[in-house]
Amino acid sequence: MTKMTYEIVPHDGGWAYRADGVYSETFFSHAEALEAARIVMNEQQVGDEPVQISYQDEKGKWHAEYSDGGDRPEVEIVDRYDASGNATA
């Protein structure tokens, strides 16, 4: 199972969540960034319809797989700041 971690961080004069080194949009407050990360986390837990998928790997070979639509990542939010935006540790 894949694991996604969203970290709440100061960014561009405000706050954002970051995953795999990529930042979200900038939010005015810590609370807004935290809420946005929670929304994204919840959306990632919603399953989809079963489908047949095909994709090409880095060597140019095509693969076909069945996805049951229920393989959702494990998601966590890491927040090292309190509600006032002060670092907690």
pLDDT of residue 24: 96
Residue 36 token pair: 């946005």
pLDDT of residue 72: 67
pLDDT of residue 39: 94
Task: List pLDDT tens digits, range 22-51.
Answer: 999 999 999 999 999 999 988 887 777 787
Quick check: 88 and 82 in contact, CB under 8 A?
A: yes
More confidently predicted of 57 and 85: 57
Domain residue limits, the chain: 3-79
pTM above the 0.95 mark?
Answer: no
**Residue 34 is inside which H or E element, if any?**
helix 30-44
The sign of the torsion formed by the CA atoms of 67, 48, 54, 76 equals negative
- Cα angle 77, 78, 84 (rounded to 5 degrees) comes to 105
